[in-house]
């Protein structure tokens, strides 16, 4: 005999997405202004409830697509938040995910219906519920990930200068880096291809452009990428 679950112990399961972007100068997070209660008018991460025919990963990808209009971007499960009183409406557990996208490439696809806006991390307003904690954990995870995996290249244009790459890591790590040490460290990893093309917008001499050599990185036996800065 199969004993049914207690119908009184009803718990909602949600996903919330922290979406990071880079505009060649600053690391930003995409927020939405809520158009319903509770906390109407306040800033929030993008979220939604799990549907019966979805996995958590499916739900996060759906929420992300609804906001950005894209599927093929980096998305990673972060942490599950289960404080009893985290949502004033109902008992809700939320699993957070973080994504990283190139603002220049995808900004035109961001849905205007969601009142979405990019905020520099230094200018993020107070968020609803426990979304500030979610963002804080996501920033820490992103910093760890970009030091051991080349996921930071997802935030750059396909072709980028060494200065753009350094600015990205400075934005993620929130500190200035020595140019010579940074360039030497990156070059020692042998994961970039230097092009003959130059970006002429920064100076009259121009700056050489690079691309990330994903094939060469994947071919390495140990996929070694450790950027201690």
**Where do the domains of the chain lie, and which CATH numbers do they carry?**
12-150 (3.90.79.10), 156-219 (1.10.10.10)
* Contact indicator for 15, 56 with CB cutoff of 8 Å: yes
All residues at 6 or more sequence positions from 99 whose CB lies less than 8 Å from its CB, including other chains = 17, 18, 19, 20, 64, 73, 74, 75, 76
pLDDT one digit per residue (tens) for the chain, 229 residues: 566 667 677 899 999 999 999 988 899 999 999 988 999 999 999 999 999 999 999 999 999 988 888 878 899 999 999 999 999 999 999 999 999 988 887 777 775 656 789 999 999 999 999 999 999 999 999 999 988 888 888 899 999 999 999 999 999 999 999 999 999 989 888 889 999 999 888 777 889 999 998 887 777 655 556 666 6
Q: How confident is the model at residue 216, as a pLDDT?
A: 79
* Contact indicator for 96, 81 with CB cutoff of 8 Å: yes
Q: How confident is the model at residue 151, as a pLDDT?
A: 85
Alpha helices of the chain — where are they, by DSSP H?
Answer: 56-68, 103-106, 131-148, 162-173, 179-189, 214-219
Please tell me what DSSP assigns to residue 122.
Answer: G
Q: How confident is the model at residue 58, as a pLDDT?
A: 96
* Contact indicator for 36, 26 with CB cutoff of 8 Å: no
């Amino acid at each position: 005999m199969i004993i049914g679950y207690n119908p009184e112990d009803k718990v909602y399961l949600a996903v919330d997405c922290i979406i990071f972007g880079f505009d060649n100068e600053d690391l930003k997070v995409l927020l939405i202004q809520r158009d319903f209660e509770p906390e109407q008018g306040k800033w929030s991460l993008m979220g939604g409830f799990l549907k019966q025919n979805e996995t958590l990963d499916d739900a996060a990808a759906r929420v992300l697509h609804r906001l950005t209009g894209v599927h093929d971007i980096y998305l990673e499960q972060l942490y599950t938040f289960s404080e009893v009183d985290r949502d004033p409406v109902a008992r809700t557990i939320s699993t957070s995910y973080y994504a990283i996208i190139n603002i220049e490439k995808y900004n035109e696809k961001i849905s205007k219906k969601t009142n979405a806006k990019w905020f520099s991390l230094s200018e993020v307003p107070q968020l609803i519920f426990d979304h500030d904690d979610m963002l804080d954990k996501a920033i820490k995870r992103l910093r760890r990930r970009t030091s051991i995996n080349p996921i930071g290249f997802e935030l750059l244009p396909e072709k980028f200068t060494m200065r753009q790459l350094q600015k990205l890591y400075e934005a993620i790590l929130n500190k200035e880096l020595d140019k010579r040490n940074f360039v030497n460290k990156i070059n020692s990893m042998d994961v970039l291809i230097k092009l003959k093309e130059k970006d002429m917008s920064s100076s009259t001499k121009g700056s050489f452009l690079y691309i990330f050599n994903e094939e060469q990185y994947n071919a390495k036996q140990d996929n070694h990428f450790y950027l201690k800065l």
